[in-house]
Amino acid sequence: MSKLKIPVWLLLPLITAGIVTTLPGALTAGEIKIAVASNFSETIKVIARHFESETGNRVILSFGSTGKHYAQIRNGAPFHAFFAADSRRPQLLEKEDRIVTGSRFTYAIGKVVLWSPKPGYVDRGTKVLQQGDFRHLAIANPKLAPYGRAAREVLQRFKLWNSLRKRMVRGENIGQTFQFVKSGNAELGFVAYSQVKHPDQDPTGSIWVVPQSYYTPIRQQAVLLSDDPVASAFMDFVRSPQSLDLIKSYGYGSE
């Protein structure tokens, strides 16, 4: 008597529920937890959906500031991989022997923009900042978020940091900073280009793409924290030509 062959797609719900744990002739679907810098949230959501569709695995994404994620990982948070908004924290984790050897790589170069949802408000330069015709300027916390540190460097370059400090509202991460501006709680703010630039769609409102020579390059690096085959496969997927093209389409640069 021949054995009954059950289609994989019928078994995937049982695998997810833990009812079926082994699947002869096929890989068992897995689940991975990924810590992700807030600026990369929309981009990695798309990448994760493609990965899940192609592999049957599940990707759980946790967004937040790079500084807070770093502290959580050091305190034992069960993440399989970490996509930081800088290179410093991944390098520290590597020195502390907390990553899979040789897994650190640059997945994107971040770009800072001054943005307002109001058309014609932000000029291509610092005129709007120098005139001071606004109540609040949003930036991410420079101590926690690399994009906040970059914003501080830009303001210091034009000697505006001290004069504008009382008008600043600081987000814990770049995601919160973006919401301050989008909601109107701040008339304008320094955000990530990826938050306003989407594939085949021009940014709304008004924007100044700050020259990258005005701030320390934002090399966003990722590391594998666990020697898990699904997590390793996901990292390879992020480095594929398909994913790299998608990352560029969201306004990121590459090395």
pLDDT at residue 26, as a whole number: 43
Mean local confidence (pLDDT), 147-176: 96
Residue 6 has pLDDT above 70, yes or no: no
Residue 99 and residue 223 in one domain? yes
Helix (H, G, I), strand (E, B) or coil at 120: coil
Q: What's the mean pLDDT in 172-200?
A: 93
Q: Do 205 and 115 belong to one domain?
A: yes
pLDDT (tens digit per residue) in 84-131: 999 999 999 999 999 999 999 999 999 999 999 999 999 888 999 999
Task: Give yes or no: residues 180 and 123 share one domain.
Answer: yes
Residues 42 and 77 reside in one and the same domain? yes
Residues 131 and 209 in one domain: yes
Higher pLDDT, 3 or 184: 184
Q: Stretch 132-148: mean pLDDT, rounded?
A: 93
Within a domain: residue 3? no
Q: Where does the pLDDT of residue 254 fall: very low under 50, low under 70, confident under 90, or very high at 90 and above? A: confident
- 229 and 142 in a single domain? The answer is no
| Inter-residue contact 193 to 113 (CB < 8 Å) | yes
Q: Has residue 16 got a pLDDT over 70?
A: no
Tell me the backbone φ, ψ of residue 245, rounded to 5 degrees.
Answer: -65, -40
Lowest mean pLDDT among 10-14, 56-60, 235-239, 245-249: 10-14
Q: In this structure, is residue 207 part of a structural domain?
A: yes
Whether 167 maps to a domain, the answer reads yes
Give CA 87 to chain center in angstroms: 13
Q: What is the count of structural domains for the chain?
A: 2
Q: H or E element: which one contains 249?
A: helix 241-249
Is 1 domain-assigned?
A: no
pLDDT of residue 198: 84
If you average pLDDT over every residue of the chain, what do you get?
89
Please say whether the beta carbons of 112 and 174 come within 8 A. Answer: no
Same-domain pairing of 222 and 134 = no
Residue 250 makes CB contacts below 8 A (sequence gap 6+) with 42, 43, 194, 197, 198, 199
Residue 2 lies in a domain: no
Reduced 3-state DSSP string for 164-182: HHHHEEEECCHHHHHHHHH
Query: Do residues 75 and 146 share a domain?
Result: no
pLDDT recorded at residue 28: 57
Would you say residue 48 lies in a domain?
yes
For residue 177, the model assigns a pLDDT of 96
- Residue 145 per-residue DSSP state: -
The predicted model gives 29-56 an average pLDDT of: 95
Predicted structure pTM score: 0.79
Neighbours of 237 (CB within 10 A): 17
Strand partners for 64: 37
AA identity, residue 83 = F
Q: Note down the domain range covering 103.
A: 8-22+29-109+218-249
Q: Which residues contact 251 (CB under 8 A, 6 or more apart)?
A: 111, 192, 193, 194, 196, 197
- Same domain? For 136 and 228 the reply is no
71 falls within a domain: yes
Looking at the fold, whether 44 and 81 belong to one and the same domain comes out as yes
Among 59, 41, 62, 61, smallest CA distance to 51 is for 59
For residue 145, being part of any structural domain is answered with: yes
Residues 100 and 134 in one domain: no
What whole-number distance in Å separates Cα of residue 46 and Cα of residue 41?
A: 9
Based on the fold, state whether residues 139 and 203 are members of the same structural domain: yes
105: CATH = 3.40.190.10
